[in-house]
Structure 1
Amino acid sequence: MTDSTHALDRRHVLGGVLAVTALALLARFAFLGARIFHWDEGRVGYWVLRYAATEAWNYRPIVHGPFLFHVNKYVFALAGASDFTARAVVALVGGLLPLSAWLFRERLRDVEVVALAAFLALNPVLLYYSRFMRNDVLVGGFALVALGFAVRTLDTREPWYLYPATLSLALAFTTKENAFVYVGGWVGALALVVDHRVVAEEYGWLTEYDAVVDAVRDPSDEAREWFAVLLTLPVLAFLVLGFFYAPRPDLWNALPNPVATLGLFASALVTAWTEFVATWVGGHSSNYVSYFVDALKVHYRAALPLTVFAVVGFLYDRYTGEAPRDFVAFCSYLGFASLAVYPAITDISGHWSVVHAVLPLTVPAAVGVGLVVERGRAALRSEDRVGVALAAIVLLAVVAQVGVTAAQTSYVAPQDEDNVLVQYGQPGSDLRPALRDVETIAPANEGVDVLYYGEHFYVAGEQVAQTPPGPQKWLWRMPLPWYFERYGATVDSTISTTPVEESPPPVVVALAKHHDELAPKLEGYSARTYELTSTNTEVVFYVDQSALANATATA
């Protein structure tokens, strides 16, 4: 192949990656605000609103890193707070993730690069959680990009690639604490790759070590350039991490003084580390078998083609051909290990943890797809119609299965309890009819707009939830506080029927079990029942129809 032909082929590959990325962005932003907020989205969203209102923020590991807090604060200021805008940053990062496939173009064949982009774009697990205001796609995406730029550094011997690699990795650490797990996984996977080289008596890689030693002893101009870059990388990481983790408004007060700013950065990172260790290191129990089975169910029902292709791709690359590719083995080890490790370190059975196994497995899965494509091409060249048909059937079946699963899980039934990607904290009902009533009533009403009734939702004072983590019974209200805070609604709670009898507010929220007790006391109120979780948490919204009519008339 001539250089011009190779360049033309590469342009076609880049065009394919760009087309897939455009499709990924469309898939993530289409109907992005349609699903009602999940419990976890609700609590983080509420505290972002409080941060925006008070300008006060401190790191709280229970709600993970500062990235979404700081970024969404400005998103809300520019575009308003809504379910759509709250998820937009995650959707953008997830939608652009297929571009990272281009970083691995020296390690993968052309068709594998496009297949990798396609898996990153359309895998149902990645799609669903790219449309979700959580940090999993963010930390995994930034880590993958960091790995990509590190690989480009090795492929090109250009040290400047280490800057975006460091920036991406630092951003990963601003999103979620399991960035440490990614780094640990990289070290473990790399150790296995090196071990394979040693067992196979392939020691050529040691020349790289010798070159480094020689460069330290007698540095050339190129070596000095590398050393200069390596010395500045910790500074870049420190500045990024310090900026994100520094408390607000302390940061803005310190900025005029560079020494004070750097001191604040250092103090913030030490505090963050201490709180992280106290909260997440050995601080929870795990039902490993149950969580592992749940993860396998997600792989089976939402990522089966990817998982099968990953196994095939890994085995094919490792045991056929001239030699296994280190990068394919590295990602395979990382993906399979993540599948086994995350059930042990997660505090609940969150289906989002499967994201961290799916992301690295996209690489061997792309190799598996490449194998089918190459077999199909070979059959076409030899005029083997049966072989061509089989390859086409396999690929079409996979595309159809992925498309149907993605559509069903992300668009058709994103809140359904039968959806394998739906976690328990996802409301099983569309609460919007009742929420629209609250949004209409709150601006026109004086005093309490919404009253929670019953022990289940009761807190002694609403101010106890102004900052994370919030009391348990307040958290059981999720995601309602996110919506009520957006509407400017005044909220209170009670375990007594006296406020309901004497001066009932226009909206009362209670568990359905209290209906017989409340209904006689709320004449003129409509009653609508919803599932506040995926199942078994029925709540009733009681809305004063006269108050609603008056508010509608004056709106």
Structure 2
Amino acid sequence: MSREGDAAPGGSERTPVSLAGLSFRRDRVLGVVVALAFAGLLVRLVGLGARPFHWDEARVGYWTLRYLDTGAYQYRPIAGGPLLPLVGRTLFALVGVSEWVARLPIAVLGAALPLVALLFRDRLDDAETVLFAALLAFQPLVLYYSRFLRGDVPLALFGFAFVGFALRAWDRDSRRDAYAATVTLALAASASGFAAGYLCCWLAAWVLVVEQRSVAADGGASARAAVAALRARLAGTTTAAARAALLFVGTTVFLFAPRAGPGVDVGLYDPTEFHLAIYEGTVGALWRFVGVRVVNRYPDGTHSLLPYLGDAAGALTAVALPVVAVGVGTTLWVRYASARRPLVEGVGYWGLLAVVLFPTIAEVSASWTLVHVVVPLSLPAAVGFAALLRRGVAAASGPDVDTGTVVAVALVVLAVVAQVGAVTAGSVYGPSDRDNRLAQFAQPSDDLEPIEAAARAAADGDSSTAEVLYVGAAYHVTPDRTTRFPPVSDAWGNRLPLPWYVEAAGADATSTANVSTFGSAYANASEPPVVIAAPTHRTELAERLGSDYEATTYRLGLWNREVVVFTAPERR
């Protein structure tokens, strides 16, 4: 795994390589990549709060608000990793509550993805590094989910950073990089439970790189030599390994340990329960994850594999075809090339394995799983694009211009730019409707800000009076259940994403199973300022509330998910 072994085809890492005829000085690559990251941040911040919250975003946002209100938090695998609630609570406390603020950490972490390319400069030439950073900054699917309150992009960032730091620790015999690798691994685990899939991909990719080609070439001698080299490298590093392990455990405990409050008995900051917090933040968190995502996943967590793979293939073709096609092609090219490039080959295997693994372990068919495919394939894609551009520049700058090659390369570049631009304009910044290939079913089609505005106008700070009333059996939470801390009933889930908007408005909510019990559900049998119900109750509620209320229908999903909201004139 030497630096020379990862030299670019047709070039060497020790020789400056040009990108489309422009030579990058080694000390300027850093500036170019930082500029790409800054540009990536700008495009992520544009209209960041314009799209209404997806149900998953609303779930994370609601429990973050509850954490802000009560100070109580406990890792629940079904609600995602602890990283977003911890960061979100701090931002809400400092800046205020809004969709823009809630998504800001994801945008910042997504914009930091191009900086990860710098960790691989020992194994990529300058052109490949810059192109890799550019793909991570502007690839439409990654850009879309860098503006979405889920842990997929943070996981991709910290997962790739772990690989980068681990390789640098190996190549440079650097303890500092080894320590950074342990911290980023803990951060990756805290971002999303999909981190378990990353471990599987990494292990399988390592086996394919080290073992398979070795067996084919020399009967396994190279594999045995690689294992012996690893054992020799680790020998005598007990102190460094202990420090790295301590960093990993400490970071993990801080991220996963519960914070005491209503519904949570053990807290990280209680000295008398610190030992319990350490257990809950490590072994307890692991068993929670296994219990929810593995043991109790079946049979309800199963799904047909081929439809999910078909959805993934269709989405990748529509929104990420250049990266996937060139990334896969470059991986196969490097696999059978005479000059070995273990990094390019291994990361390519990682991306190819992810195409099958993540749609398999996902519980719903959604394009966010493809973030974990596109990000790793961006590295071999960057290598392929760099080779293509070098070929075009060489054809244009020689004594005899190869017009056919120049035109072919120009057409490929034009097609890639056009596809990226079209997907970005139509899907990343386009409307949230059924024609948007990146929007998942649980993405509301209508702007829901008027509901929050009505609830905010009705909120009076009096906790004894609920300003929002849900009507209907599907939305009714029985008196023996609560929505103030988890676990909550399925009826609460049926309300998504509205609980976020009601909570963000500072309003209180109650519910009734049907219109006939309307009065008993609301204090003093008076009329609630905001009433939310299924469309089937529209006529009954219109008669019950009278003409003073205005009814508006909102689409809470891309199809078959509508609610009617009644608001009093003086509350709107």
TM-score normalized by the length of structure 2:
0.88
Question: Unaligned regions of 5+ residues in structure 1, if any?
Answer: 217-222, 549-555
Q: Distance in 2 between matches of 1:211 and 1:342?
A: 32
Distance 1:102 1:268 in 2: 32
Matched-pair contact (CA < 8 Å) for 1:286–1:346: no
What's 2:253 paired with?
242
1:97 counterpart = 2:124: no
Q: 1:466 aligns with which of 477, 484, 505?
A: 484
What are the residue-to-residue correspondences of 1:221-232 with 2, within 5 Å?
224=236, 226-232=237-243
Question: 1:509-524 residue pairs with structure 2 within 5 A?
Answer: 509-522=532-545, 523-524=547-548
Residue equivalent to 2:172: 156
Matched, 1:348 2:364: yes
Q: Is the contact made by 2:268 and 2:277 (CA closer than 8 Å) also made in structure 1?
A: no
Q: Does 1:400 align with 2:424?
A: no
Q: 2:555–2:561: 8 Å Cα contact kept in structure 1?
A: yes
Give 1:435 shift.
2.6
Partner of 1:543: 567
Query: 1:467-502: per-residue Cα shift (whole Å, max 9, x none)?
Result: 334211111111111111111112111123246575
Q: In the TM superposition, what is the alpha-carbon distance from 1:377 to its structure 2 partner?
A: 1.5
Report Cα offsets for 1:274-307 as digits up to 9, x if no partner.
2111110151212211211111121011111111
Distance in 2, matches of 1:54 and 1:524, equals 37
Cα distance, 1:54–1:2 mapped onto 2, change above 3 Å: closer
CA distance in 2, matches of 1:311, 1:210: 31
Per-residue deviation, 1:263: 5.1
Letter in 2 for 1:333: Y
How many residue pairs end up in the alignment? 536
The percentage of counterpart residues that share the same residue type is 38
Residue in 1 that maps onto 2:5: none
Q: Distance in 1 between matches of 2:159 and 2:93?
A: 28
- 1:496-537 CA deviation, whole Å, 9 max, x = no partner? 324657522111111122222221222211111110111111
Alignment correspondent of 2:557: 533
SS across alignment from 2:394: helix
Q: Which residue of 1 aligns with 2:321?
A: 304
- Corresponding residue for 1:190? 206
Counterpart for residue 436 of structure 1: 453
State the partner residue of 1:505: 528
Q: Identify which of 436, 440, 456 aligns with 2:474.
A: 456
Aligned to 2:507: 489
Q: CA RMSD in A?
A: 2.4
CA distance in 1, matches of 2:469, 2:213: 64
Secondary structure in 2 aligned to 1:468? Answer: coil
Matched, 1:117 2:133: yes
Deviation per CA, 1:366-395: give whole Å up to 9, x if none.
122112111111112222233223212211
1:204: how far off?
A: 5.7
Q: Secondary structure at the match of 1:508?
A: strand
Q: Aligned partners of 1:503, 1:154: CA distance in 2, in Å?
A: 70
Equivalent residue letter for 1:237: F
On the 8 A contact 2:461/2:507 being kept in 1, the answer is: no
Q: Structure 1 residues 106, 423: closer, same or farther in 2, change over 3 A?
A: same
What is the match of residue 47 of structure 1? 63
Q: Equivalent residue for 1:553?
A: none
Mapped contact 1:310–1:362 kept (Cα < 8 A): yes
Within 2, Cα distance between the matches of 1:344 and 1:215? 36
1:56-135 alignment, distance < 5 Å: 56-135=72-151
Partner in structure 2 of residue 316 of structure 1: 333
Q: Is the 8 A contact 2:155 2:188 kept in 1?
A: yes
Counterparts of 2:227 and 2:326, CA distance in 1: 35
- Worse overlay, 347-356 or 201-210: 201-210
Question: 2:465 is aligned with what amino acid?
Answer: G
Residue number in structure 1 paired with 2:291: 278
Given that residues 434 and 528 in structure 1 are in contact (C-alpha distance below 8 angstroms), is that contact kept between their aligned partners in structure 2? Answer: no
Do 1:122 and 1:403's aligned partners in 2 also have CA atoms closer than 8 Å?
no
* CA distance in 1 between partners of 2:279 and 2:73 (Å): 17
Task: Give the conservation status (yes or no) of the 8 Å contact 1:21–1:98.
Answer: yes
CA distance in 2, matches of 1:121, 1:2: 24
Task: Identify unmatched segments of 5+ residues in structure 2.
Answer: 1-11, 18-22, 261-265, 520-524
C-alpha spacing 1:337/1:373, structure 2 compared with 1 (3 Å): same
Deviates more, 1:331-340 or 1:196-205: 196-205
Which amino acid in 2 is paired with 1:514? H
Equivalent AA in structure 1 for residue 447 of structure 2: D
Q: CA deviation at 1:262?
A: 4.8
Q: What is the identity, as a one-letter code, of the residue corresponding to 2:535?
A: A
Cα separation, 2, equivalents of 1:267 and 1:436: 39
1:288 equivalenced with 2:301 (yes/no): no
Query: Which range moved further: 442-451 or 475-484?
Result: 442-451
CA displacement 1:401-441 (0-9 Å, x = unmatched): 1122122212122x212111111111111122233222222
Tell me: CA distance 1:174–1:36, structure 2 relative to 1, closer, same or farther (3 Å): same
Deviation at 1:67, TM superposition (A): 1.0
Question: What's the counterpart of residue 145 of structure 1?
Answer: 161
3-state secondary structure, aligned to 1:443: coil
